[in-house]
Amino acid sequence: MGSALYTASSTASGGRQGSVKSSDGTLDLTLSLPKGLGGNEKEGTTNPEQLFSAGYAACFDSALQMVAGQVKKKIISEVTAEVSIEKQASGFGLSVNLTAKMEGVTQVEAEELMEKAHKACPYSRAIEGNVEVKKKAIGE
């Protein structure tokens, strides 16, 4: 492993119906169990899948910008990460649908950038081989 350039730290208590707070206090969120998992999903709360999808979308969008810059393409992009929790043979698992809309490139270029970003994004690399990720690139 390499040396850490940055470390984020958050502490959760109460599980999926508790709270989570970042060490610097920027995040201080109440959690509730989604209705799809049998919970009561209280308004104004979040859950681990929403937090993971937000982080993944932001990280992947940064990776897209980086790989586009490497091939001298200027793009305007928007990434949506849909993270699902699902019942599997040995418990629960995640799956992800990534959609990246890109202005400034053709459909073929958008697909190429999507693949390059997937290889570069730390989130994609972290879950590789463990989580199914379906990718959809949308160019002009």
Same domain as 38, residue 77 = no
Residue with tokens 């995040």: 27
Q: What is the mean pLDDT of residues 125-140?
A: 95
Which residue range(s) make up the domain with 10?
Answer: 1-46
One domain for residues 39 and 92: no
3-class state of residue 63 by DSSP: helix
Domain count, the chain: 2
For the stretch 51-70, pLDDT in tens is: 999 999 999 999 999 999 99
**pTM exceeds 0.75, yes or no:** yes
CA distance 4 to 6: 5
Looking at the fold, whether 76 and 15 belong to one and the same domain comes out as no
Shared domain check, 127 and 70: yes
State the Cα angle at 122 between 24 and 137, rounded to 5°.
120
Report how far residue 120's alpha carbon sits from residue 65's, in angstroms, rounded to the nearest whole number.
Answer: 11
Question: Does 84 share its domain with 114?
Answer: yes
Please indicate, yes or no, whether residues 71 and 100 belong to a single structural domain of this protein.
Answer: yes
Angle at 6 between CA 4 and CA 8, to 5 degrees: 115
